[in-house]
Amino acid sequence: MQQWFALDRPDRFVYYLGALGAVGLAACGVKVATLAPADLPPLTLTQVEELVALFVPTEKLRYDLRWTYRTQQGTTRGRAAVHFVPPDSVRFDYRAPFGRSGAAVIVGDDIVWSRPEEDVERLIQVAPVFWAALGIPRDALAGAVLTGRVEGDLHQWRYALAGDTLTYAVQRHPGGTFAADLRQSSDVIATVSVAYADSTLQPVTAQMVFPGSASTVIFSVQAIDTLTTVDESMWREP
């Protein structure tokens, strides 16, 4: 079964980390209401790039988060810091109970490194889904079929490639919402729902649901600060 945004070298991560089984394809049979109708009109690549640019921050930012990781076995909570450097680079640092901590670097659609892998991947799991939880859509992959429409504050668009789809639906106004879902054929790999602050288009809360692993990750944004400088050493793997 061909995977959405397949690897171009064996040590990189795909969207839903199928090789690691973090999400897997156990979502077969799970049905979630689609974020946009199937018959969206075609979009050009330029139109999609203009849509994406509406939501990608142009400043270096630090997000301070509280996170919740929930499965059928229980719930774990902690804190995290996300350093974002435009257009597509993130350093993610987290703290968990009992002194546990970890970090990861994400560039575009790839988790470049994560330590410790198992713990970090539970919180991130799928790179474009993690981006969506920050209210940031990803660029379209070359060769994808692009469809969408804009009606007032409602923006809906979809990337489709080899049976896989990534759909976004955004109510673009303060107090609005940002949503995404990733599917393989009709099977739901992940869904994201983000609430904007009443006064801005910045995310306040985000929920990522992964049906295949019966897990949910929730981010609560405590603060978003503009950064003037970023230590280049933070990108290096420890």
Give the domain CATH number at 216.
2.50.20
Q: Does residue 28 register a pLDDT over 60?
A: no
230 within domain boundaries: no
57 within domain boundaries: yes
Q: Does residue 140 register a pLDDT over 80?
A: yes
pLDDT at 32: 52
178 within domain boundaries: yes
187-196 and 154-161 strand pairing: unpaired
Question: What integer is the mean pLDDT of 59-88?
Answer: 97
Domain total for the chain?
Answer: 1
Q: What average pLDDT does the structure give for the chain? A: 86
- Whether 203 and 230 have beta carbons less than 8 Å apart is answered as no
pLDDT at 13: 28
State the amino acid at position 187 in one-letter form: D
Predicted confidence band of residue 121 (pLDDT cuts 50, 70, 90): confident
238 within domain boundaries: no
Return the percentage of the chain with pLDDT > 90, whole number: 78
182 within domain boundaries: yes
13 within domain boundaries: no
63 within domain boundaries: yes
Q: Which of 135, 183, 136 is nearest to 32 (CA)?
A: 183
Neighbours of 12 (CB within 10 A): 13
74-85 and 145-151 strand pairing: unpaired
Q: What confidence tens digit (pLDDT) does each residue in 151-172 have?
A: 999 999 999 999 899 999 999 9
By residue range, what is the domain housing residue 158?
25-221
Return the percentage of the chain with pLDDT > 70, whole number: 86
19 within domain boundaries: no
Neighbours of 118 (CB within 10 A): 10
State the amino acid at position 84 in one-letter form: F
